């Protein structure tokens, strides 16, 4: 067969697998999955709402994955790089339960504070930092998920107040992952670290987002939780 007739599969960086046909798709019971176009995108982040196809959701939570193969077996350097991918993976379950806790943030500290404290004390320890980030990422993913499906207008208005927090969490996660891991990733994957954020600028964004939140305590526990985690994370970076 002429190699140019073969189907190609391209993992796009931070995005889906693009399959260029001609090809047919079947589910495991043998039912054909209709394909309407010559090239399709298959979900790689796991959070699409029309799996197996990509619907662009990876953009809403800063999914990270290289286009070229990740190094295997991992070296010390790229174990950190894997950590950033794993971070996205751990937080991606849309149905993950919201951490239990009181509905008002000041009534009792969120259950995750131990991780934040650990990072405050050892902020130069990348593993402790990653623990904080994982929690921020999970809280962010839960909030994002709560914002996505059609909601009653009242609930939406309440949750939409957290929009600056979501953006701040994105900046924080991207900045720290880029700041702590870009050199290792650049070395192991040949990525260009141009475009990564400066940590100071990121802290300023997060603090501005926290300041822009209404003075009265947010009613939604997911909002309160994310706010609390962000506050701890910025302290850990200070």
Partner 1 sequence: MSFVLARPEPMRAALPAARGPWTRALFDALQEPPGAAIALPEVAAIDLLADDDLQLALYCCYELHYAGLAGVDERWEWDPALLRFRAEMEGRFERALCATVPTTRPEETLNVGETLQTLVAEDDGPPLSRFAETQASREQMLEHVTHRSAYQLKEADPHSWAIPRLRGAPKAALLEVQFDEYGGGRAERMHSALFAGTMRALGLDATYGAYLGRLPGITLAGVNLMSYFGLHRRRRGALVGHLAAFEMTSSTPNRRYGNALRRLGYGQDATLFYDEHVEADAVHENIAAWDLAGGLATAEPDVAADIVFGARALLALESRWAAHLLDAWRAGRSSLLHPFVVSTDG
Chain residues that interact with partner 1, rule: CB under 8 A: 10, 12-16, 18, 36-41, 49-50, 53-57, 59-60, 62, 67, 147, 149-153, 156, 160, 163, 167, 170-171, 174, 192, 194-195
Count of residues in the chain: 238
Q: Nearer Cβ to partner 1, position 16 or 110? A: 16
Q: How far is the C-alpha of 22 from the C-alpha of 19, rounded, in Å?
A: 9
Peptide bond into 28 cis (omega under 30): no
Shortest Å distance, C-beta 198 to partner 1: 13
Q: How far is the C-alpha of 18 from the C-alpha of 39, rounded, in Å?
A: 7
Q: Nearer Cβ to partner 1, position 18 or 71? A: 18
Q: Nearer Cβ to partner 1, position 151 or 210? A: 151
- Which ranges of the chain does DSSP label H, i.e. alpha helix? 76-90, 113-121, 126-147, 153-160, 163-189, 199-212, 221-237
Shortest Å distance, C-beta 114 to partner 1: 31
Residue with tokens 């931070």: 14
Beta pairing partners, 18: 10, 41
Q: Nearer Cβ to partner 1, position 41 or 176? A: 41
Shortest Å distance, C-beta 229 to partner 1: 20
Shortest Å distance, C-beta 146 to partner 1: 12
Shortest Å distance, C-beta 233 to partner 1: 19
Q: Nearer Cβ to partner 1, position 116 or 205? A: 205
Beta pairing partners, 33: 25
Burial of residue 61, with CB atoms counted within 10 A of its CB: 0-12 exposed, 13-18 middle, 19 or more buried: buried
């Amino acid at each position: 067969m002429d190699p140019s007739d073969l189907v190609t599969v391209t993992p796009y960086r931070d995005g889906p697998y693009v399959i260029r046909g001609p090809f047919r798709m079947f589910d495991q019971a043998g039912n054909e999955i209709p394909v309407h176009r010559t090239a399709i995108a298959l979900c790689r982040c796991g959070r699409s709402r029309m799996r197996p196809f990509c619907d662009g959701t990876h953009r809403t939570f800063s999914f990270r994955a290289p286009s070229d193969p990740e190094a295997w077996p991992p070296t010390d350097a790229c174990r950190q790089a894997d950590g950033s991918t794993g971070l996205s993976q751990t937080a991606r379950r849309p149905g993950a339960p919201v951490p239990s806790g009181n509905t008002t943030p000041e009534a009792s500290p969120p259950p995750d504070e131990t991780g934040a404290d650990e990072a405050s004390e050892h902020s130069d320890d990348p593993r402790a930092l990653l623990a904080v980030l994982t929690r921020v990422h999970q809280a962010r993913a839960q909030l994002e998920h709560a914002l996505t499906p059609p909601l009653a207008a009242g609930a939406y208005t309440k949750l939409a107040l957290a929009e600056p927090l979501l953006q701040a969490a994105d900046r924080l996660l991207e900045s720290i992952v880029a700041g702590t891991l870009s050199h290792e990733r650049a070395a192991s994957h040949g990525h260009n670290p141009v475009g990564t954020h400066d940590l100071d600028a990121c802290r300023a964004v997060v603090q501005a987002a926290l300041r822009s939140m209404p003075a009265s305590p947010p009613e939604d526990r997911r909002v309160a939780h994310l706010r609390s985690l962000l506050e701890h994370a910025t302290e850990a970076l200070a």
